[in-house]
Amino acid sequence: MIKNQANGNRRGSALITTIIILSFLAVLGLSLVAFLFSRFSYITMQIDRMKALYLAEAGISKSICELKTGVDTDGDGLGNIPKTGLAGGTYKAKHDFQTATIEAVGSFNEIERTVQIRYSSY
């Protein structure tokens, strides 16, 4: 009878050890999932920031094109670009003749990036 009690104690300690190991693995797995989700969110935000920057650069390019050709395509002043949609985002540009600057704002998924250039005309 004493032998059976010792064997039962070993089974109980093996069960507790297994539960502890499984709990540790579950916590480790959940931590990994949380880390991967936060990295995915960060990378998605960085991609949106880059898209907003490229949209702002598109606004600068369109403004420069108007200045080079001397044709105001939208009728709001040479080099000024109204809010324009492109690739799921928007851009706009404002040209200031007095300070010789063009400032463009690109927006994508509620993220805005601004690009400003200063030029000299010879």
Q: What is the pLDDT of residues 58-114, one digit of tens each?
A: 999 999 999 888 888 778 888 899 999 998 999 999 999 889 999 999 999 999 999
- Amino acid 9: pLDDT: 63
Average pLDDT (10-17) is 82
- Amino acid 1: pLDDT: 44
SS (H, E, C) the chain: CHHHHHHHHHHHHHHHHHHHHHHHHHHHHHHHHHHHHHHHHHHHHHHHHHHHHHHHHHHHHHHHHHHHHCCCCCCCCCCCEEEEEECCEEEEEEEECCCCEEEEEEEECCEEEEEEEECCCC
Longest Cα–Cα distance of the chain, Å, equals: 106
pTM greater than 0.85 (yes/no): no
Picking from 20-34, 41-55, 57-71, which range would have the lowest pLDDT averaged per residue?
57-71
- Amino acid 6: pLDDT: 54
